[in-house]
Structure 1
């Protein structure tokens, strides 16, 4: 089960990256088209939809890899016992909020499909199709947060640390002292 969930998070992250590449290509084609007097209809709209999809699809992967912003200035001052209590409380609150968000986004997609809403712009597209990746990304993020919450309560893992926290805890790099003397001599000349 662990491997399946991790693969889902990775695939969502990869699709997010593909969306960013498609945004770049779309904008490049739009700018190049202007040089030749060609208008690419709804390219700005499509880039916006892809950006929303990319943002939500990346949430689970970035959460699991520790890329989200953490208030480490506050957390580093807590005792280990207090840190566990705070992290568990935040994970429970986040689980509730993300499940609620996922439900609402899923409901929004269903309503758009039910009422056959379309996007505004040169090329009308079914609104549900544009909203669906956002709802899927939110649902995957909800699974990720619940997964992390359960694993945290079972003592299987802690919340992933940010890159800055990992660097702060890393061993300092010790340079060869003889080499440092040569560097200092060169600097004094």
Structure 2
């Protein structure tokens, strides 16, 4: 039950990131075409920028859990057994500490923006805590994903972000063709 709920949360965050990507595309097209036909999109650049931030941060947990995040495993690939599990736990602990701090600071920023009624300075005035929420929520979901992976590894399981290496050249080519998940 918890497994399905967490997977659904990560997938939802990924879909929301995708929706913000579509919003960026739509805004950029409106801004580009609008220049040609004298159509002004008020605060279009602001909304595109905020969508970019929301897209980037909301997509982190889904990307992490699918093993698509760039990760340097030169040391970990050479370790096996208990030493690999310990190194993986150390890496996940460091990642969790950094992301927890980042989440806390981003949350404080959004809270201060709400508390002090910070508003954007564009043509359309928007309370700044609203676009900052995408960053906070994305970081919080990533922190949850890292904590979950830490528990999996601590219990002796294999990290879900670690894919099985391709067994044949054809399998490697197929994975690269499907999106690079090697």
- CA distance change for structure 1 residues 159 and 74 in 2, over 3 Å: closer, same or farther? farther
Q: Verify: 1:170 aligned to 2:166, yes or no.
A: yes
TM score, norm. by length of structure 1: 0.84
Q: Verify: 1:128 aligned to 2:129, yes or no.
A: yes
Q: Verify: 1:74 aligned to 2:75, yes or no.
A: yes
Q: Which runs of 5+ in 1 are unaligned?
A: 175-189
Give distance in 2, aligned partners of 1:24 and 1:158. Answer: 34
Q: 1:141 is matched with which residue?
A: 142
**Structure 1 consecutive aligned stretches of length 4 or more whose deviation exceeds 3 Å:** none
Give distance in 2, aligned partners of 1:43 and 1:54. Answer: 16
Please state how far the C-alpha of 1:76 moved relative to its aligned partner: 2.1
Q: 2:18 is matched with which residue?
A: 17
What value does the CA root-mean-square deviation take over the aligned residues? 1.6
Give distance in 2, aligned partners of 1:135 and 1:118. Answer: 18
Q: 1:177 is matched with which residue?
A: none
Q: 1:180 is matched with which residue?
A: none
Please state how far the C-alpha of 1:72 moved relative to its aligned partner: 2.6
1:15-164 matched pairs, under 5 angstroms:
15-158=16-159, 160-161=161-162
Structure whose CA Rg is larger: 1
Q: Which runs of 5+ in 2 are unaligned?
A: 171-182
Please state how far the C-alpha of 1:78 moved relative to its aligned partner: 2.4
